[in-house]
Amino acid sequence: MAKKKIVAGMEIGFVKVLSIDNNTCNCLCQLDDVMFTRHIETLKKHIGDMDYSCGCNRRLPWNEKGVYYDTTHGKWVAYIGYKSKRYILSSLKSRTKEECMAIREIAEQAKKLGVFAEWFEATRYIRGNKAYQDANKNAMHHTENATITKPSEKGDKWQVRVYHNGTQKALATSENKKYIEEVHRLAKSALEDGVYDEWREMFRARKAEIKAKCA
């Protein structure tokens, strides 16, 4: 396993390492805009911690997990950690703390369902345009999508999973990759055309036929 290494310019949560003097790191807390120092071994323990700061996010009672007040620019910001990276969900000056918390909650749901990356891209414009979001309140909750899950271990099967109307379900499972790819293509097309529910009923009746063609 590679050893954790602290280098100048590295960001750990809200902390940016400016320089290293022996084993002491000179840092900038981007959340509170203050300079401070930390021992290099202390910083190593927090690599991957998206909420790490100089301690201000624990001192300021108005901050919430995934939501903080940017004192420099005078606005609330919502963020989330995903695959060792911090994603800014909303940073509009017009948003209230409650609105940022609501966006963060939706992002958490997408993350738990395994569709965060798709949700983040699909709602990029909505999250950046408050007027559009207010006119389309349900838009951020739904990312219609069909994905293929690859076998992770020997004996596992290929699977098509569909995210539709706020829920994610397995549509088809098989060792036949060709069959799974065909089901994925058909499901994705039905979602794009807005006829997934009707298509799913047809698929259930023709599943054996489709499987035979892909044998």
pLDDT of residue 17: 92
Residue in 29, 87, 96 with CA at minimum distance from that of residue 64: 96
CA 114/CA 206 separation, integer angstroms: 28
Yes or no: say if 173 and 166 are a contact pair by the CB < 8 Å rule: no
CA 15/CA 54 separation, integer angstroms: 7
Q: How do beta strands 158-164 and 145-149 pair?
A: antiparallel
pLDDT of residue 100: 86
Cα–Cα distances in angstroms (integers) from residue 150 to residues 114, 173, 187, 212, in the given order? 14, 10, 17, 21
Yes or no: say if 114 and 149 are a contact pair by the CB < 8 Å rule: no
- Single-letter amino acid code for the residue at 162: V
pLDDT tens for the chain, residues 1 to 215: 445 789 999 988 888 899 998 889 999 887 666 788 999 999 998 888 877 888 776 655 556 678 888 777 788 888 888 876 778 888 888 788 888 888 888 888 888 888 888 888 877 766 765 554 554 555 455 556 778 877 766 667 888 888 777 667 788 999 899 999 999 999 888 887 778 887 888 888 888 889 898 98
* Block residue for tokens 């323990």: 45
pLDDT of residue 132: 46
pLDDT of residue 143: 59
Yes or no: say if 19 and 26 are a contact pair by the CB < 8 Å rule: yes
Sign of torsion, CA 12 15 16 20? negative
Yes or no: say if 129 and 164 are a contact pair by the CB < 8 Å rule: no
> Residue 56 corresponds to which tokens in the numbers above?
């201000």
